[in-house]
Amino acid sequence: MTKVLVSIKIFPSDTTTDMNILKDKVRKTLEGKASIYKYEEEPVAFGLVALIAHVLVPEEAQLNRKKFPSLGDNGPKIYASER
C-alpha cells in the first residue's frame, strides 16, 4: 500500500498551549486513519509556536484537509492549514 506524506501546520490559539497535549490530540484524532511520521515546532511570533505534524496517509484515504473538529472540542480553538 502506498502512503503519502502530508505536512499540516497547526496554529494554537495562544502561547500557553501545551504542545505535548496538542500532539496527543492530533495522534488520537488520526488514529486508525493515518500515522504520525514526526513533529516539528516552528516559532511564529510573540512567543506563539506552530506545530507541524508530518503525517503518513494511505493513498486511498480521504481526510478533511480544511479542519480537524475534534482537536478543539475541549479547550482552546486550534486551527490547521496545509503547508
pLDDT bucket at 25, cuts 50 / 70 / 90? very high
Q: Give the separation between CA 47 and CA 31, rounded to whole angstroms.
A: 30
Residue 73 reports pLDDT greater than 90: no
Q: What is the H or E stretch that residue 11 is in?
A: strand 3-12
Q: Tell me, what's the pLDDT at 37?
A: 96
Using an 8 Å Cβ cutoff, are 2 and 59 in contact?
yes
Domains of the chain, first to last: 3-82 (3.30.70.60)
For residue 68, give Cα distances in angstroms to 2, 8, 45.
23, 11, 23
- Whether the per-residue pLDDT at 9 is higher than 80: the answer is yes
Contact call for residues 10 and 30 (beta carbons, < 8 A): no
Reported confidence tier of residue 82, pLDDT bands at 50, 70, 90: very low
Q: What is the pLDDT of residues 35-46, one digit of tens each?
A: 999 999 999 999
